[in-house]
Amino acid sequence: MASPGMNPPPTPRIPHRSIAGPVVLILMGILFLMGTMGILEIHHLGSLFARFWPALLILWGALKLIEYEQAKRLGQPARGIGVGGVFLMLFLIGSGLIATQVSKVNWKNLGDHIQLGDDEGLDEIFGGSTFNYSGERSSALPAGSTSMRINDDRGTVTVNVSDEKKVRVSWRKKIRAESQQDANGYNGKTDPTLVMADKMIVLNANTQGAGDKSVTTDIDIYVPVNTALSITSGRGDVTIAGMSSSVEVNHHRGEVNVTDNTGNVTLNLDGSSVRLEHVKGDVTIQGKANEVAIEDVDGAVRLNGEFQESLRLVRVSKMVSFHSSRTEMEFSRLDGRLDLDSGDLRADSLIGPTRLTTRSKDIALEGVSGDLRLEDGNGSVEVGLHKPGNIQIDNQRGDVQVTLPPSTPIKVEARTHEGEIESDFDEVKVENGDNQSSASGSIGTNGPKLVVNCGKGAFEFRKGTVAVTPPAPPLPPVMPAKPGKAAKALPAPKAPPVESEN
């Protein structure tokens, strides 16, 4: 029991609750409310947060400093941040850093690299609506002008032959905007232009005229048949038919279709697919391509770059050269068909001299004529000879089979490591050992030389018959294009098998 003269102990002072966290939450809530009410656009709200989120930390710190000074003046203990405050601060810093990095992304350029689907899907993702416009323009060709440059970085380009001595352009435009009024303003800034520069007609789709707003312009062009074309296009297909002069296309993401062209064709690609038919001149393709199909070329074909999916060649009258990081190939002519993908190379009716070097493919060649020099790093090799010249096959890891028609003179030299040798020809002497095998001999007189070296694999030398090579199936027809859509090909028919006797 306390004595009457003693004072009661002082009551401990409880610090006031901090208002820093609630103030920051209130400000963030107000901003998001303005976004949901339509006072601020959502993407503008995101931009504001990405730019000014450190100001929320500054405000929070200032409020905590004021609370500390006030508690000190009243003689009360200052309140710390607390567990909830720590989580709120971490959330602000994490979301702020993410928003800042996202705001630095060029979303329009990224969209050019990614196929996002139809416009309705884009509207759902990015907001706004898509508005359609169309127009037409024409210009007389100046005297001596036979060339045209076309620039359309977002949209399809279709070139048609016209009997008129002028250029006529029609377009269909899609603009994504928040309202019809905004879209009308962007439409006026993005109409294609048609001007004369250095004796060349220049058509510019002008899709960049709306700044960061998405504008897609599909263009149909009508020009005289002898007009030389230089086209730069992205995020859309290019279709050219019936021209008699040179064609050059720089293309990104889409398909390039050229048919019935008399002049040379040069394609510089970045992630595009190609279909060429009935070209009288030379064909040059370089860059990064997906699917490539080429049929009936009277000139030479030069392919240089990376071919991601597949390559098909059908009937090429002059030299073919192919250069990629994994495969080097040259031959004088192709009377049949060649198919190449990531793991296989198959061809028939190759006319040499032929040189083929690859790192890791299964190779099957039928009807080979002329000289052949083949090197493979890892894969099986099958070669059917028709009218052979000098043949040399080096395969580091994999089996080799060579088929020779009866009564064809040839001199054979073969060696294998860790593989046996089999021969259907009595004239060839075979010696099989535990670690190394060899074969040598001559069939007939004055024949060319066949040299085979297998690092780890077997060698089979077989008799065959000269099979009649069936005509290569044509490429699938192009379906008529709908307005605003590129033409699409039907699936290719399968080739009938070539029967041979092993």
Query: Are 93 and 81 a contacting pair, CB within 8 Å?
Result: no
List pLDDT tens digits, range 160-180. 999 888 899 999 999 988 889
Residue 400 reports pLDDT greater than 50: yes
Q: What is the pLDDT of residue 100?
A: 79
Tell me the pLDDT band of 13, cut-offs 50, 70 and 90. Answer: low
List pLDDT tens digits, range 324-383. 989 999 999 999 999 999 889 999 999 999 999 998 899 999 999 999 999 999 999 999
Residue 492 reports pLDDT greater than 70: no
- Looking at per-residue pLDDT, the higher value among 10 and 198 belongs to 198
With b meaning 16 or more CB within 10 Å and e meaning fewer, what string describes 455-473? bebbbbbbebeebeeeebe
List pLDDT tens digits, range 186-225. 898 899 998 887 778 899 998 888 777 778 999 999 999 9
Residue 480: CB atoms within 10 A of its CB come to 8
Q: Which amino acid is at 451?
A: V
Q: Average model confidence (pLDDT) for the chain?
A: 82
φ, ψ at 156 (rounded to 5°): -80, 150
Tell me the average pLDDT across 301-322.
94
Query: Are 315 and 334 a contacting pair, CB within 8 Å?
Result: yes
Distance CA(433)–CA(454), nearest Å, equals 14
State whether residue 276 is helix, strand or coil: strand
Q: Which amino acid is at 312?
A: R
Tell me the pLDDT band of 35, cut-offs 50, 70 and 90. Answer: low
Q: Which two tokens stand for residue 399?
A: 């089996």
Q: What is the pLDDT of residue 499?
A: 37
Task: Tell me the Cα Rg of the chain.
Answer: 36
What 281-284 contacts at long range (C-beta under 8 Å, 24+ apart), as own/partner pairs, is: 281/246, 282/318
Around 70, how many Cα atoms within 13 Å sit in the side-chain half-sphere? 12
C-alpha angle 125-173-197 in degrees, rounded to nearest 5: 130
